[in-house]
Amino acid sequence: MISMATTPEIPGFKPTRPDNGDAVVMERRTQKIQPPQLYQVVLLNDDYTPMEFVVLVIQEFFNKDRETATAIMLKIHLDGRGVCGVFSRDVAATKVDQVSAAAAKAGHPLQCVSEPVEP
């Protein structure tokens, strides 16, 4: 049995077979792969969670200094929501779980969500 040579698969190239069955030309194609989607972790305002608790959460889980954490907390308090950090999908999901668990354990209604960053 005669085996035909297979055309190599090269990302970003399209093989074009000539009519005569000879050489294969690899056409360069525009790159289609996209960078991974990033997710922002957002804290939501409520009327009951103490400001100090929110500041501590932002310091602890988002590695912010006290001044930055206080500024983010006040923005959430005034605007209703605020971005605490931007992460890969898995890390963002973990942050949401950690913050939600800490809030529940302390008996506060603090809500934390993650959402895709707009391009």
Give contact residues for ligand TYC (rule: CB under 6 A).
Answer: 43-47, 49-51, 54, 73, 76-77, 110
Q: Which residue, 77 or 113, is less far from ligand TYC as judged by CB?
A: 77
- Measuring CA to CA, which residue among 52, 98, 100 is closest to residue 77? 52
Closest CB 80 distance from ligand TYC, rounded Å: 9
Q: Which residue, 37 or 63, is less far from ligand TYC as judged by CB?
A: 63
Closest CB 66 distance from ligand TYC, rounded Å: 15
Residue written as tokens 């360069």?
A: 28
